[in-house]
Amino acid sequence: QQQVKQSPQSLIVQKGGISIINCAYENTAFDYFPWYQQFPGKGPALLIAIRPDVSEKKEGRFTISFNKSAKQFSLHIMDSQPGDSATYFCAASRGSGYSTLTFGKGTMLLVSP
Amino acid sequence: ETGVTQSPTHLIKTRGQQVTLRCSSQSGHNTVSWYQQALGQGPQFIFQYYREEENGRGNFPPRFSGLQFPNYSSELNVNALELDDSALYLCASSADSYNEKLFFGSGTQLSVL
């Protein structure tokens, strides 16, 4: 059972454009939703995260939009740059005595110059 | 402040063998989690160690075991290796067991032939 579904699998965006990656979750007990960025040969790095008490969080060019009723959240990358080319993972976790993240399958983003 | 370091970077083993992977957590972090990332997939939670005790476990068989040492470094041991164990193994540290902000190392790429 895949608890966090991520789409699209891959994405090509022109430099300066907006990249949008979507995730949907099933477990209503999830209460923390981070996005991770992973470059080849590296581990995932935390990019931005949101909790269900807000509908949007913005940090620089990166914005998370969160829709609790639809159980969906998305990452928007404004003014996409070639350096943003990486694999992006959404994830979710719930307070259960220890922190564990359930990841989506990832989206490979290519920003063309 | 040092980040999460893992060793070795790459490893090749044959089916049935045993392997030990090592991780040094980020300075000041007392919790270590291990994840398995198969090719083209998101990381999957294996287990977490908090103050030298296993604090939570994902859906992995008992042949996956671990240790955490007094300096909070950690080992992941896998016995009776199977071909499907071929993956990137990621270690992540956090400030405590409830802290969802995970800092990942670059991983150990394990190939089982």
Tell me what pLDDT residue B28 has. 87
Q: What is the pLDDT of residues B19-47, one digit of tens each?
A: 999 999 998 899 999 999 999 999 999 99
Tell me what pLDDT residue B101 has. 85
Tell me what pLDDT residue A43 has. 93
Nearest to B23 by CA among B9, B10, B38, B4: B4
Q: What is the pLDDT of residues B41-94, one digit of tens each?
A: 999 999 999 989 998 899 999 999 999 999 999 999 999 999 999 999 999 998
Residue B97: list chain A partners with CB under 8 A: 97-99
Q: Which of B89, B100, B104 to mutate to test the interface with A (most CBs of A within 10 A)?
A: B100
Tell me what pLDDT residue B2 has. 65
Query: CB-CB: which of A43, A45, A100 is closest to B48?
Result: A100
The C-alpha atoms of residue B103 and residue B48 are separated, in whole angstroms, by 13
Query: CB-CB: which of B4, B42, B98 is closest to A89?
Result: B42
Show the low-confidence residues of chain A (pLDDT under 50): none
